[in-house]
Every structure is written in C-alpha cells, then in structure tokens.
Structure 1
C-alpha cells in the first residue's frame, strides 16, 4: 500500500513525540499485552470524539485541531501496541495518511500544527521544582492537595486525594495542569 503523506520521516517524528507524551504521563508504551478491553474502548471513543469534532468544525483552525487530535489518538494506539513503523499496522497508518491528505487539501500545514499541539500537551507538566511549587500553591488556594511524580526531566502534578466542591470533582491521581500550561494556538498557523 502506498502511503502518500505518512512518510517514514513523518511517522518517526510523530512516533517519537507520542512516546515522549505517553512516558511522561505514565501511559503504556510498546506494551501490546496491556491493550485490554477498557484501553481499546478508550482509544476508540477518543478517536470517535475527535472525528466528530472534525465533522462539526466550522473553520480551518477547528479542522486543524480535530485532525491533529485524531492523529494524536491514533498514534497513541500505535505506540501502545509498539507498532513502530507504518507497515506494522497498515490499517491505522492508512487512516493517519488519509487525515494528512485531508489536512493538505484544507491547506493545513500539518507538522507545524502538530508541533504546536504537542508543545501545548507537554506544557501540562512542570519543568522544574520551582514551577511545581508555584503549581502546588495555585491548587492549594483552591483546597486541592498535590502529589509530585517525577518522570524523566518533568514533575507531574497529580491530585493527592479525591476533591469535590460545588463546581467540580477531581479524582485522586488525576494529572493537573501546570501553572505554565498554555493551550495550543493554531490560529496563526491556519491563516
């Protein structure tokens, strides 16, 4: 099968980023045996959610966001399974290639948009102790206790115990965003 956009170099770039994301957030990497029914259902529901967002998108920025997020989810499944080359899971690779073609047809420069979303996703974790302390203070003011979890060069701020108030419920172990988190800004990349 000829994949016209999912070249080996593009695949490698995406795979490397998803490995970084999944290792940082304690998600399975190259552990096909851990893809049980619950994990399979989660991957599928996330992909459906993102494809629905693509169908509902009303402008190029929303389309770019939905395409990137769908590829992020599909690549997450490949990394989970350890399918580290397009030919190892041609079905998912074909879907990704289709999405890359859709991006091109919509004049969306996929890689810069991907890089922006990945950078935003990685900004959810703290880069150093100072950033973690500022994050801990921020959540403490809301009555939320944190537990620091060091992963590689990052510190993940996790909820230390179940928290609930009138506005929200946060379960123990949930990853909470760093005070330096920034949402992806695809607007300048999609004009």
Structure 2
C-alpha cells in the first residue's frame, strides 16, 4: 500500500510516521502532486496556525489538489480544520470539503484544550472496534461546529464535532498517533477503508 503524508511545512510529522511504522507501513512525506494522486491513502496532518498553513498550501498548489483526491484522505487536527469552509483563526477560508465552520473556544475555558477527552456518537467504519466515550489526545483552541458530517463529538465548553466524514474524506480533531491503543486502532481502520 502506498501511503503519503502531505508535506506543507505543518509540524508533528515524525510521530505520525512512527505510528504507521508500528502498524507495518511506511508513510512517505511529499508535496509532489503526482505522488499524492498515485497513493492509496493520504494523510493531511497539521499542527500550527491556519493562515500560515493555508498560504503554504496555496504556494504549492495543494489547495487545488486536495479537494479533488478520490482515495481515502485523513485530516488530523489543523489538517481537519483546513478541510472545513472557514476558520476564525486568522479569518482563513478553508478547502470547503466539510460544510462547516471552525470557531474559537471562548475565554470561559482554558485554551488550548490540552490533554485527554472522550469521543462519543461514533458513526463510521473509522471507529470500528472503538467504544463510546473512548479517550483521545487533543491540543486545540479552535473547533468544528456540530454538523451533518459529524461522525464523533466531544464536549469542552460545548459539544463540537471531533471527527468529520464526507465521501472519501475523513477528519479528526484529536491526534490518533498520540492516543495510545485506541488511536492506533483508528489509524489501522483508516488503512483498511
């Protein structure tokens, strides 16, 4: 299986590569459109700031390529947020893959949300073998609003979409690569989609 990690300068790549190595797969880091299109599965990672990340995607033309991909694509953290219509972070337009906007948590709660939180209302093969209220590791100040494409929710000040699905596109707000056995199971499920 050819597995690619979209390289656009967004951090946290190594821990994702190591997570797939533990599952027996080599994830190739690339921003080459031909390589991305030819792969069986695509991971769209992201740690960092939305506006800066979107600028880098535009410079390489990946903002045009990613929404046209036909194979399963998994956006992680900022990657998922950039797949939405718009994010309040830097007032940044997204890729429009998920029909939802990304908002900032209010100052009534500690921001960023950092650490373990549960996921509920699981509705996808991505969560095969994952039980309701399983704990996942999160670090984020912005969240995707509840919407029709939500396949998991978490609660922090309010209920928000912690995972999204639209056709061949999947997004998770949490970091499966840092979420112990359950996170590893989600990555394994993605490889089997």
TM-score for both structures, normalised by structure 1: 0.26
Question: More helix per residue: 1 or 2?
Answer: 1
Question: More strand per residue: 1 or 2?
Answer: 2
